[in-house]
Amino acid sequence: MGNKPSALKEVKRQVQGVRKANKGNLMAKNFDFKFFAKLSAQEQDAFLLCCQSGLDNPDSSMGCYAMQPADYDRFKPFFSKVLADYHKVGVDAKHKNNWSLSGVEGLPEDGKLDLE
């Protein structure tokens, strides 16, 4: 894609079209053109891969998917907003896991969940 003005204009046209077609498409709602324009050509290509589902399917509610785990960090300004919208929490919310199995019935006495 590259940082060519004509390519940036086309991306903007596509995203705005999706916004118009489906206000619930989180990719389009949270797509920040200034953030996108600051990315290198290679990063723009990778970012658009994450957004392609929403561009191809305007009726999608999510519209974006990380292609690799590093995308969540690399494109954090975008994904943090999308995930906050999806989970209906603040952008600064922290997920806390509780992996305790205490109180769960039917587990092996040794606590191992091996399938062997």
pTM above 0.85, yes or no: no
Look at residue 75 in the predicted model and tell me its pLDDT.
98
Q: What does the chain look like in DSSP terms, one character per residue? A: --S-HHHHHHHHHHHHHHHHH-TT-HHHHH--HHHHHHS-HHHHHHHHHHHHHHHH-TT-SS----SSTHHHHHTHHHHHHHHHHHHTS-TT---------TT-TT--TT------
The string of pLDDT tens digits covering residues 90-105 is: 998 887 878 787 888 8
